[in-house]
Amino acid sequence: MEAAVEESPKTVPYEMMGGAAMVRQVVDRFYDIMDTDPAAAGIRSMHAKDLGPMRQLVFEFLSGWLGGPSLYFQHPGHRCIGSAHSKFAIGEAERDIWMTCMRRAMQECGVSAEVRDLLDKPLLRMAEAFRNR
């Protein structure tokens, strides 16, 4: 008789979300929303025309931030995430539309309500930290 294999509990948001595939899906959906929703035009204008490199950087950053592999900081010359945003005028409106895009992306990708609730305040704190006006 085979012993039952116990699954380790999924204790970090990265694992709770579903790992790299789901983080990638959320990031891609986030940028798709930002690219197509007229309400997000202001924050979209802060990005280059080609969102491909940004999608990769944000995927790598969120991977580590969520408790998965720390991909962003493995690159030589990585930038402080705060200083990368300092050249843009970011206020409450920009913070709020960023949060709206991220909340929509997580919901539309099927991230569980439990994980969305767990991440909402930390994501809001991060978005608030980028405000400079």
CATH of the domain at 120: 1.10.490.10
Among 86, 87, 27, 74, CA closest to 52 = 27
pLDDT of residue 60: 95
| Residue position matching structure tokens 């979300």 | 17
Q: How confident is the model at residue 1 (pLDDT cuts 50, 70, 90)?
A: very low
The Cα–Cα gap between 126 and 133 comes to 15
Q: In total, how many domains does the chain have?
A: 1
Q: Could you report the per-residue pLDDT of 2-43, keeping only the tens digit for each?
A: 445 555 557 899 999 999 999 999 999 999 999 999 999 999
Domain enclosing residue 80, as ranges: 18-129
Q: Could you report the per-residue pLDDT of 57-94, keeping only the tens digit for each?
A: 999 999 999 999 999 888 777 667 777 787 888 999 99
pLDDT of residue 24: 98
- For the entire predicted model, the pTM comes to 0.88
Tokens coding 50: 């080609």
